[in-house]
Structure 1
């Protein structure tokens, strides 16, 4: 069976992770424990997640002309991801994320975007053809908004569905929302987009309705331990999360999005695809790291 084609446009980072008993308060120094250096970046995490679950993934991204960039390229190649549109930036370093994870698996993250902030649509002359060849396009918000808008515009004209993971949280234009097939905000992101404070299922539903009114066909609001709310065609449903003992939640949302894209490309109904994504995310939080935590297909089926 031919694998579905997913085009991921997004960020690449190197994650530098320190495990510690508690997250430091402003001005406080805490003594940490284990140090890990892993591949990260929302775009890269989602590309790896989808590839491990069976998708044929092409990844448009930009890294620095440095050791981190070369290491990322090799990692993607090892995962079977098409890196022919991985670009090297001669002026900016590769993106880096500094991550602290506490004993409760909570984290705080600071990102230096580096080359990610210099990924422009004009860098890719055959972008319309790349989009046309895809079954789905998956994006996040760690690259320039002008690039995201351009990709969404082209995909919309070519009837290629776009999934947007609107993280890190920020306001989005109606012009962008109108070009999306599916958006996957968490509670904070849903509030920023919709203006509705999300505190429970009812407020999540109101936020989802508002986002659909702004032009998005389908909304999936991730609610952490409560699962995910689906809103489509004026109908909603909660898909419960899977209870596990979490050790690191760093890339759970990225694994969720990569898995959701795979489920949709395999023609799963939306509810089934969300359930599939919840399973993948649940496995990921039982492991340290971002890309390293993404499960393989045989761990879910």
Structure 2
């Protein structure tokens, strides 16, 4: 039987979220009406999304040996995520993200990486075989770049499909890009990678083609309510978004990436996988929080049926 496992390598953060009228400018104090904590981190969000949407997921992350780390371990187990390769740091705390969400659902995020930043290549040696045998490797950039580069190289050398979510924006070598099957930047990240200011579909296409020219096989530029631009095999197409009332965009990109990985592990075409990912992400922005907003598979199916009627 073909291996369907999705290995996610990435961060875990405890999100501390403040809902406010507007995001403060430097020097400004804004009084807020609500605060809550919610498990997050790009890697953790994507792993939870994969599991809730029906994928078989193995999560590799580094946690602090603290109360948040223990909570994460239990939460991941409850979500049905394979936690065999979770790592623990006895010196650094678990990662924390401070998130401000305005009345339009837009957010501003500051991350204290903690144990995420101490992940090393040697930490991943015990997981080498599961990486090599995976159907898909899903990675982001909230862990050290040398770890990202090593795990992508390891997967690519064994014909594992690699999805790289280049967030937060960082320098990516052309050698790394040639090993990536699907790159999924948002407009900000696409701009940072290419130097092209991405403000609409035309500029997004120009940026995506420039990224493809660097050796990436497929590029998906996520553009929120504008939809997603897919460039595959030299051809670009627009996958429209689902119109919803946005409450909070936190983790929408992570839901998109997790859903994309699940759909591809089920042998859906790239175009159909992007459409499925867009639908899952659309549901997530109608809810507050990171992992609290991630939909389950039956919710996406119900949403698809409603759209078809």
Q: State the TM-score, normalized to the length of structure 2.
A: 0.95
Give the conservation status (yes or no) of the 8 Å contact 2:45–2:254.
Answer: yes
1:288 aligns with 2:288: yes
Residue 146 of structure 1 is matched in structure 2 by 146
Summarize deviations over 1:130-189 as a string: whole Å, max 9, x none: 212210000000000000000011111101011000000122111110110100001111
Mean Cα deviation higher: 118-127 or 219-228? 118-127
CA distance, structure 2, for counterparts of residue 124 and residue 259 of structure 1: 24
CA distance, structure 2, for counterparts of residue 274 and residue 211 of structure 1: 18
Summarize deviations over 1:183-216 as a string: whole Å, max 9, x none: 0001111111122221221211111111111111
3-state secondary structure, aligned to 2:260: helix
Residue 251 of structure 2 is matched in structure 1 by 251
Give the conservation status (yes or no) of the 8 Å contact 2:85–2:127.
Answer: no
CA distance, structure 2, for counterparts of residue 3 and residue 104 of structure 1: 41
Summarize deviations over 1:52-98 as a string: whole Å, max 9, x none: 00111000000100000000110100000011111110110000000
Residue 122 of structure 1 is matched in structure 2 by 122
Gaps (5+ residues) in structure 1? none
Residue 131 of structure 1 is matched in structure 2 by 131
Residue 235 of structure 1 is matched in structure 2 by 235
Residue 25 of structure 2 is matched in structure 1 by 25
Residue 298 of structure 1 is matched in structure 2 by 298
Alpha-carbon deviation of 1:125?
2.2
Aligned residue pair count: 301
- Match runs of 1:173-184 below 5 Å: 173-184=173-184
Summarize deviations over 1:16-55 as a string: whole Å, max 9, x none: 0011111111111111111110000000000000100011
Runs of 4+ in structure 1 over 4 Å off: none
3-state secondary structure, aligned to 2:202: helix
Gaps (5+ residues) in structure 2? 302-309
Give the conservation status (yes or no) of the 8 Å contact 2:64–2:91.
Answer: yes
CA distance, structure 2, for counterparts of residue 81 and residue 168 of structure 1: 24
Give the conservation status (yes or no) of the 8 Å contact 1:3–1:55.
Answer: no
Considering only aligned residues, what root-mean-square deviation do their CA atoms show, in Å? 1.2
- Match runs of 1:184-223 below 5 Å: 184-223=184-223
Residue 307 of structure 2 is matched in structure 1 by none
Alpha-carbon deviation of 1:4?
2.2
CA distance, structure 2, for counterparts of residue 22 and residue 191 of structure 1: 25
3-state secondary structure, aligned to 1:32: coil
CA distance, structure 2, for counterparts of residue 119 and residue 154 of structure 1: 16
3-state secondary structure, aligned to 2:199: coil
Shift of the 50–3 alpha-carbon distance from structure 1 to 2, 3 Å rule, reads farther
Alpha-carbon deviation of 1:2?
8.4
- Match runs of 1:82-121 below 5 Å: 82-121=82-121
- Match runs of 1:44-59 below 5 Å: 44-59=44-59
